[in-house]
Amino acid sequence: MGKIYTIVNQKGGVGKTTTSINLGAYLGYFGQRVLLVDLDPQANATSCLGVDRHQIQNGVYEVLIGEKPVHDPILHNSRFKISLLPSSPNLSGAEIEMIDLPDREKRLRSVILPLKDRYDFILVDCPPSLGLLTLNGLIAAVNGVIIPVQCEYLALEGLGQLTQTLSRVRQGLFPDLTIRGVLLTMFDGRTNLSAEVMQEVQKFFPDKVFNTFIPRSVRLAEAPSFGMPISVYAPESSGAVAYKTLAMEVLSSDGVKYNPNQE
């Protein structure tokens, strides 16, 4: 059975989409069947994989409101070794349209749970908010959430709000919601600040912080404009090495056998 992880943080610019794409691509690199679900109306994950979001006729929006079965809109990219349930600007109105739908908080969970037999990993990229779409992402996170945290003090301020949201979801809708791991992003080893933030995050989430951290990387910032994951755009860069290491850490801790020397 596959794993479903949701990448979430209500703060923007912390590396949610970057992590979703590049972790997914490297899991695929190691032979895993990976589906990325773009749950953000901005459709950045869709665009970053070279898909024109304005050309999407069927995507996650149509699936959530019940217009299309989930299999129809999935795009497969053998070069990037990842499949995509794309987003489009249509999704921006979904939170309003879903208000009157039955089980509105569980729409995503109901449509992707049956896919666990087809994929080894399903990664859900959430919007930078704590609205109904993110709530759908949290309830779909059968195997936990991955929280990217930028190595800046301002990034720490929202963690309390996020943990309160996770607690409320556990109490009211999904008691088994867990934190799979916290990922430090945009780490700069030349500064004391990054080390101090790392220490604070480790105190806030004891035993939940990934050993791997993602450095600041020009190549990681460039890759989306070329519509490629870092594994294809600049596989020798520091950002690529970091996400490859993260994928290996996830696979190892999940007990998945893989070839670390995959070429």
Does a structural domain hold residue 263?
no
Torsion of CA 66, 81, 138, 183, to 10 degrees: -160
Residue 261 in domain: no
Quote the DSSP letter at residue 128.
Answer: S
Within-domain flag for 262: no
Alpha carbon distance, N-terminus to C-terminus of the chain: 26
- Say if 90 falls within a structural domain: yes
Helix (H, G, I), strand (E, B) or coil at 221: helix
Q: What is the DSSP letter of 216?
A: P
Task: Give the per-residue pLDDT at 171.
Answer: 94
For the chain, the domain total comes to 1
CATH number of the domain residue 87 falls in:
3.40.50.300
Could you tell me which residues are beta bridge partners of residue 84? Answer: 36, 75
The encoded tokens of residue 82 equal 């990842």
Task: Please compute, for residue 147, the number of CA atoms within 13 A of its CA located in the half-sphere on the CB side.
Answer: 28
Q: What is the DSSP string of 96-132?
A: HHTTTSTTGGGHHHHHHGGGGGT-SEEEEE--SS-SH
pLDDT of 263 reads 61
196's tokens: 């101090």
CB contact set of 182 (below 8 Å; sequence gap of 6+) = 146, 147, 148, 149, 201, 205, 208, 209, 210
SS3 212: coil
Residue 64 lies in a domain: yes
pLDDT, block means (10 residues), the chain with 263 residues = 94 92 97 97 95 90 89 92 94 86 92 95 94 95 96 79 91 94 90 86 91 94 95 97 98 91 71
Distance CA 18, CA 44 (A): 9
Give the pLDDT of residue 216: 92
Domain boundaries, position 246: 3-252
Q: Is residue 126 part of a domain?
A: yes
The neighbouring-strand residues paired with 76 are: 83
User: What is the DSSP secondary structure assignment for residue 145, as one 8-state letter?
Assistant: E
- Kindly report the backbone phi and psi dihedral angles of residue 231, in degrees, each rounded to the nearest multiple of 5, phi listed first: -65, -25
Note the pLDDT of residue 67: 87
Size of the chain in residues: 263
- Name the region of 243 (left: φ>0; alpha: ψ -120 to 50; beta: rest): alpha
Q: Is residue 258 part of a domain?
A: no
